[in-house]
């Protein structure tokens, strides 16, 4: 090989190698930036479903979970959120994901009024497919403490009314880590939630 050509070839090869490494790092950084960060580990719980069975947070391991804190006598934000979750339920059922890969959880603040019978009627009225939902209740004080562990403040106003954070909807990954906290009610964006669920399922 011509010595002059050789002297040019080596720097060119180095430049190509450098560009390749730079491109790899750039693509990797873009991919990591598009992932959903971990908010915190999802606190454990043991609550009772409408059939009287004890349900633990660990029962949802391996699934993506969308979890709401609510109460059935709520006049506005809770039923709107549940309605939007039912819309998501139907889209996920069309994709063959609901109940198998994705589960929904609803935890009531108001066990006094939200008896198993009341929760079952609420589920039927709202169109909740119980094959993919856990609708849960526990002692009020313990539920309030659990909500606080999830970053939700709850105040019992009396007469069956509760005040709580508007951000009482959590997306939990299969490793039981909270990855998103959403606004409830009219501010809930179903397309955003669906996209985030898809990201977690692909991880």
Q: What's the rounded mean pLDDT across residues 67-87?
A: 94
CA-to-CA distance for 189 and 78, rounded, in angstroms? 15
Average pLDDT of span 52-68? 96
Q: How confident is the model at residue 5 (pLDDT cuts 50, 70, 90)?
A: very low
Q: Calculate the alpha carbon distances from 48 to 105, 152, 159 in Å.
A: 12, 20, 24
pLDDT value at residue 165 = 76
Helices (H), 159-189: none
- Pick the closest to residue 70 from 137, 157, 158, 24 (CA basis): 137
Q: Give the Cα separation of 196 and 35 in Å (integer).
A: 9
Residue owning tokens 């929904």: 104
pLDDT digits (tens, 9 = 90+) for 131-161: 999 999 999 999 999 999 999 988 888 777 8
Encode pLDDT of 8-57 as tens digits: 444 444 444 444 443 333 334 334 445 899 999 999 999 999 999 999 99
* Average pLDDT, rounded, for the chain: 86
Do 174 and 43 form a contact (C-beta atoms < 8 A)?
no
């Amino acid at each position: 090989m011509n010595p002059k050509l050789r002297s040019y070839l080596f720097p060119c090869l180095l430049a190509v190698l450098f560009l390749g490494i730079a491109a790899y790092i750039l693509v990797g950084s873009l991919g990591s930036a598009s992932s959903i960060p971990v908010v915190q580990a999802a606190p454990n719980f043991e609550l009772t479903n409408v059939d009287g069975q004890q349900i633990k947070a660990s029962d949802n391991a391996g699934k993506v979970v969308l979890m709401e804190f609510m109460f059935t006598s709520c006049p506005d934000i809770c039923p709107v959120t549940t309605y939007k979750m039912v819309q998501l339920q139907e889209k996920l059922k069309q994709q063959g994901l609901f109940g198998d890969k994705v589960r929904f959880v609803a935890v009531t603040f108001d066990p006094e009024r939200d008896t198993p019978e009341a929760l079952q009627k609420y589920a039927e009225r709202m169109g909740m497919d119980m094959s993919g939902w856990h609708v849960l209740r526990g002692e009020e004080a313990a539920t309030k403490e659990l909500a606080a562990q999830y970053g939700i403040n709850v105040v019992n106003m009396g007469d069956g009314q509760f005040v709580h954070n508007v951000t009482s909807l959590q997306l939990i990954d299969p490793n039981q880590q909270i990855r998103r906290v959403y606004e409830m009610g009219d501010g809930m964006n179903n397309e955003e939630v669906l996209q985030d669920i898809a990201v977690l399922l692909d991880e």
